[in-house]
């Protein structure tokens, strides 16, 4: 059959073909986009670091305890020997007592020429002024343990080797190598100055 001679038939064929093409295009699935490149590609979040200085960590360490600088205490005076008793070297007033540090004896006041008396029997082992800061000085040895010292005299009345008795005048009070008239008296045991207060007869 010639389609040109039957136009109605030609038109039907064209409409059927067009309908088929439209249906195919409507049911054709949309192309799938490749999304693999977008998986796990979320933007990286950068957390800025704080520029503020952090305090140093606390420690439990404690500073070493301060060391106190203590002065050595003077040696305690030995107990008074009841077998050795002494008299007073002067009748003047006491100006300063024994303390073992700044004063290792007893200071007696008075006036120039007042008598200085031996406190016990003994012998003179020194009489002179060659020991610095003592002025005119007399030293009496009483036994193998005890000696007595009499300093700042205006005049010594004994010489080395003399044997003297308790209460004997051995010097006169003065101010040699000191700032005032006084007698500096010391009692020594085994060459160490001791507090004589426990040795005086009452």
pLDDT value of position 16: 61
Residue 166: is its pLDDT beyond 70?
A: yes
pLDDT value of position 200: 95
- In the structure encoding, which two tokens stand for residue 163, read together? 């044997």
Confidence of residue 26 (pLDDT cuts 50, 70, 90): very low
Residue 34: is its pLDDT beyond 80?
A: no
pLDDT value of position 33: 52
Confidence of residue 14 (pLDDT cuts 50, 70, 90): low
Tell me if the pTM is above 0.95: no
Residue 3: is its pLDDT beyond 50?
A: no
With vertex at residue 118, the alpha carbon angle to CA 170 and CA 127, rounded to the nearest 5 degrees, is 45
Q: What are 67-99's pLDDT values in tens digits?
A: 555 555 455 555 678 889 999 999 999 999 999
In this predicted model, which residue has the larger pLDDT, 9 or 171? 171
Angstrom distance (rounded) from CA 24 to CA 9: 23
Angstrom distance (rounded) from CA 173 to CA 181: 7
- In the structure encoding, which two tokens stand for residue 8, read together? 């109605």
Residue 194: is its pLDDT beyond 60?
A: yes
Residue 15: is its pLDDT beyond 80?
A: no
Where is mean pLDDT largest: 2-6, 33-37, 167-171? 167-171
Angstrom distance (rounded) from CA 147 to CA 193: 9
Residue 43: is its pLDDT beyond 90?
A: no
């Amino acid at each position: 059959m010639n389609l040109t001679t039957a136009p109605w038939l030609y038109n039907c064929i064209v409409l059927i073909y067009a309908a088929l093409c439209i249906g195919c295009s409507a049911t054709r699935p949309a192309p799938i986009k490749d999304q693999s490149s977008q998986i796990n590609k979320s933007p990286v979040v950068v957390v800025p670091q704080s520029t503020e200085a952090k305090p140093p960590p606390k420690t439990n360490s404690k500073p070493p305890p301060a060391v106190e600088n203590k002065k050595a205490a003077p040696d305690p005076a030995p107990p008074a020997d009841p077998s050795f008793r002494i008299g007073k070297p002067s009748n003047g007033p006491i100006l300063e007592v024994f303390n073992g540090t700044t004063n290792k004896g007893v200071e007696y006041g008075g006036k120039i020429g007042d008598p200085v008396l031996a406190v016990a029997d003994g012998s003179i082992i020194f009489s002179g002024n060659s020991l610095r800061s003592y002025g005119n000085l007399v030293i009496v040895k009483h036994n193998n343990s005890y000696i007595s010292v009499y300093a700042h005299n205006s005049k010594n009345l004994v010489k080395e080797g003399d044997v003297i008795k308790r209460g004997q005048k051995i010097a006169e009070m003065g101010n040699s190598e000191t700032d005032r008239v006084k007698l500096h008296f010391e009692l020594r045991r085994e060459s160490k100055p001791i507090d004589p207060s426990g040795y005086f007869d009452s």
